[in-house]
Chains A and B, each alone.
Chain A
Amino acid sequence: MTTLRTVGNRSRTGRALTYVLVIAIALAIAVPVAWVLLASLKQKSEFYGSPWVLPRGLYVQNYVDAFVTARMGQYFLTSVLVTVLGLVFVLAVSVPAAYVIARYEFRGRGLVEVALLAGLFVNVNYIVVPIFLMLVDWDRSLVDVLPGGFFIDNPGVLALVYAATSIPFTIYLLTAFFRSIPADYEEAAALDGASRLRIMTSVMLPMARPAVTTVVLFNFLAYWNDFIIALTLLPGDGKTLQVGLLNLMTAQKAAADYGRLYAGMVIVIVPVLIVYALIQRRLIEGMASGGVKG
């Protein structure tokens, strides 16, 4: 505050300008999002003419259309299933791995760490094509047993791919956190006769809750929001919400059926906005603790 006082008058106009700038940027972000929420309640005829007119009434039919006719309801369930399964998978394999990397000396630990760090630099979208071809190949070799195919169009497999490709980031963050916990707790538990497994699950895991929460948050956003992998691995009817929305976008271009599209967008946006509003502090803290978007 000292700065402001010494510079005096000049800074008062500067401060006003600052407010104008920041508010303008905030509006540039908030207005289009709010506009989508409003537009989802407009009737078809209202989309012609100025886009800035408020909706005349609450035209809920758009939502019925989106949920039922455009099957967004069904896609919503697929997305929930895939996201939850992906989170379960990634935690089930990453927590134990991160724990032993942080706490045990074993041969090849350096190599494992380097390989996982290198994995941070491989973006999933760089390697979706070979993953897809590999799964198609597996299906083909199983054709005698399972003529319908197993790996493609399987939400479980999609969840597994999500989990596998977020392993480097997840282990990286968890390992760092495990290392910051003093070893005294484990030594005490070991003296009390706790087994290695029990030390990991009942002593260390509860203490690592903040890191686990951060990991769950970031992975939730990544899985829920992905559409490239889902588009590739679920080409059939069981789509995820994002792919369903993409189809609505394409359909709208042909038929100019805006209402259904905006209702679909709201269905996709609202869950993340709720989660974000609830946990924004945690999300921002987690980011400060070393997550950089890749």
Chain B
Amino acid sequence: MTTISAPPPGSTDRTSEPAPSAGRSRRGARVPARRRGDVGFVLACLLPALVLFAVFMVVPTVNVFRMSLYTWSGFSPDLRFVGLDNFTRLFDDEQFVRAFQNTVALLVVVTVVTMGMGLFLAAIMTRQRLRGRNLYRFVLYIPNVLSVVVIAAIFSAVFDQENGLLNGVLRLLSLDGLQQVWLGDQKLVLWSVAIAMVWQSLGYYMVLYMSSMASIPEELYEASALDGASAGRQFFTITLPLIWQNLRTTLTFFVMSAVNLSFVLVRAMTGGGPDGSSEVLLSYLYKQAYTNSSYGYGMAIGVVIFAFSFLVSLLVSRATRREPVQF
């Protein structure tokens, strides 16, 4: 699923964040709500959105945290307060530990590969002025508009053991020995999911970085070329520092989107199998809640997910803080 959100609030440096925070708003004059009837107008405009937001986002979020302190088997009124018991149980739950490890592994691998390839491709597409790059851009962005169910179905066809595209290619190349049961092998299935994740998100990040690289003035590259800088050197001394803020923002949000994407893909493609080997945090939450009817326990996993994605985002944001460079 592609929920879209925006750069983080001005929690850190505001200097080059595109987020129009306080600084910008002063330019556009604000009408103070003092005239008669203004308060009514403001309320009428604001209330519907706030009510919907409160009912369907604030209350459920609070409920995740509240319910994690109870045991509840679903529709019975039998609700029992157990404090932090659900959380202590998590540490002894091997399946949970595996789901956590899988999530972290996917996060690290997919982030490194997607961001690395996305940056590299964006750099050569903008710097080298390839012929037909609009076509490449068009094609590479396609997976981002497809639904995850479609992507899961496509990859089921690619990875199919008998008639799959991948094994078919390997057979054509007489590399029969490399054929695998891509989605049925406990050791391989997670990497098959990772490939699908990279396939889905690569184009999105490439396009995003292309648009921020396009705003770097050409003179900078010309000047450094006169000094004899190679394309690789230019990338690290000019391109990367100048799009750093953008990269940081995407990295911070990538964590959340990858946690989510890994779940929707796993749900549609492998169902967590075989034997729980591709289970990730959110899919394990669903299993506990719907299949096992352990809502309280499921919500404790939800709390872990919230805390985990918040902490990782924060760490990434801290670790990548640099003095903004401008041109």
Q: Give the B-binding residues of A (Cβ under 8 A).
A: 1-4, 6-7, 11, 14-15, 18-19, 21-23, 25-26, 28-33, 35-36, 39, 47-52, 92-94, 96-97, 99-106, 112, 114-127, 129-131, 133-134, 136, 160-161, 163-169, 171-173, 175-176, 178-183, 186-187, 196-197, 200, 218-219, 221-222, 224-228, 242, 245-246, 249, 261-262, 265, 268-269, 272-273, 275-277, 280, 283-284, 287-294
A103 to B29, CA, bound (A): 7
Contact check: which of A50, A167, A219 meets B53 at CB < 8 Å? A167
Residues of B close to A36: CB separation below 8 A: 153-154, 157
User: Is B231 touching A7 in the complex (CB atoms < 8 A)?
Assistant: yes
The answer to whether A176 touches B20 (Cβ under 8 A) is yes
Q: Cβ of B169: which chain A residues have Cβ within 8 Å of it?
A: 52
Interface residues on B, range: 35 or more
Structural contact, B127 and A3, CB atoms closer than 8 A: yes
Chain B neighbourhood of A21, CB < 8 A: 124
CB <8 Å contact, B157 and A272:
no
B46 contacts which chain A residues (CB < 8 A)? 96-97, 100-101, 112
In the complex, what residues of B have CB within 8 A of residue A283's CB?
A: 141
**Which A residues are in CB contact (< 8 Å) with B289?**
129
B60 touching A127 by the CB < 8 A rule?
yes
Are A164 and B225 closer than 8 Å at their CB atoms? no
A93 touches which one: B41, B48, B67, B154 (CB < 8 A)?
Answer: B48
The reply on B88 being an interface residue by CB < 8 A is: no
Contact at B6–A291, with CB atoms within 8 Å? yes
Contact A22 B121 (CB under 8 A): yes
Which 8 pairs of residues, A with B, have the shortest CB-CB distance?
A294-B5, A96-B45, A225-B147, A164-B56, A97-B49, A130-B60, A288-B211, A130-B63
User: A52-B168, A130-B60, A164-B57 are contacts. A179–B25 as well, Cβ < 8 Å?
Assistant: yes
Q: A129-B286, A284-B207 are in contact. List 5 more A-B contacts (CB 8 A).
A: A7-B231, A32-B154, A105-B31, A228-B263, A277-B138
By beta carbon, the residue of chain B nearest A177 is: B20
| In the complex, B111 has a CB within 8 A of chain A | no
A176 surroundings in chain B (CB, below 8 A): 19-20
Stretch at the interface among B100-108, B128-136, B174-182, B185-193: B128-136
Q: For the complex, what is the distance from the CA of A6 to the CA of B149, rounded to whole Å?
A: 48
Residue from B49, B125, B211, B222 having most chain A Cβ neighbours under 10 A: B49
CB distance from A80 to the nearest CB of B (A): 15
- List residues of chain B with CB under 8 Å of any chain A CB: 1-9, 18-20, 24-25, 27-33, 37-39, 41-42, 44-46, 48-50, 52-53, 55-61, 63-64, 67, 75, 121, 124-125, 127-130, 135-150, 152-158, 163-165, 168-169, 171-172, 199, 201-204, 207-208, 211-212, 221-222, 225-226, 228, 230-231, 234, 249-250, 253, 256-257, 259-260, 263-264, 267-268, 282, 285-286, 289-290, 295, 298-299, 302, 305-306, 309-310, 313
Compute how far the CA of A131 lies from the CA of B75 in the bound complex, rounded to whole angstroms: 14
B53 touches A284 (CB 8 A): no
A265 to B222, CA, bound (A): 48
- Bound-state CA distance A97–B54 (Å) is 14
Check A29/B310 contact, CB under 8 A, given A119-B53, A126-B282: no
In the bound assembly, the distance between CA atoms of A127 and B66 in angstroms comes to 13
Distance in angstroms from A130 CB to nearest chain B CB is 4
CA distance A129 to B222 in the complex (A): 55
Query: Contact at B61–A127, with CB atoms within 8 Å?
Result: yes
**Contact between A294 and B3, CB atoms less than 8 A apart:** yes
Picked from A3, A14, A102, A293, the residue with its CB within 8 Å of the CB of B4 is: A293
The CB with the most chain A CB atoms within 10 A, among B4, B225, B226, is that of: B4
Rounded to whole angstroms, the CA-CA distance of A182 and B161 in the bound complex is 61
Given known contacts A97-B45, A242-B149, A290-B6, A125 and B141 CB-to-CB distance under 8 angstroms: no
- Assess the A292–B38 pair: CB atoms within 8 A: no
Report the separation of the CA atoms of residues A80 and B4 in the bound assembly, to the nearest whole angstrom.
20
Is there contact, CB below 8 Å, between A292 and B154? no
10 examples of A-B residue contacts, CB within 8 angstroms:
A18-B128, A22-B130, A29-B140, A103-B30, A125-B282, A164-B53, A180-B24, A225-B1, A227-B149, A284-B207
Q: A294 contacts B130, CB within 8 Å?
A: no
What chain B residues lie within 8 Å of A125 (beta carbons)?
1, 260, 263-264, 282
Distance to closest chain B CB from A48 (angstroms)? 7
A130-B299, A293-B257 are known contacts. Are A225 and B2 too (CB-CB below 8 A)?
A: yes
Chain A residues near B207: list those with CB within 8 A.
Answer: 284, 287
Contact A18 B152 (CB under 8 A): no
Instruction: Give every chain B residue within 8 A of A226 (Cβ-Cβ).
Output: 1, 147
B147, chain A: closest CB distance, angstroms: 4
A47 and B163 within 8 A (CB)? yes
Asked whether, in the complex, the Cβ of B231 is within 8 Å of the Cβ of A228, the reply is no
Q: Quick check: A181 and B299 within 8 Å, CB to CB?
A: no
By beta carbon, the residue of chain A nearest B167 is A51
Query: Which of B31, B142, B157, B222 meets A273, CB within 8 Å?
Result: B142
A61 nearest CB across to chain B (Å):
20
B304 to chain A, nearest CB (A): 11
Given that A1-B129, A35-B165, A293-B204 are known contacts, is A166 also in contact with B53, CB under 8 Å in the complex? no
Q: State how many angstroms separate the Cβ of A174 from the closest Cβ of chain B.
A: 11
With A30-B139, A179-B24, A181-B28 known as contacts, the answer to whether A268 contacts B19 (CB < 8 A) is: no
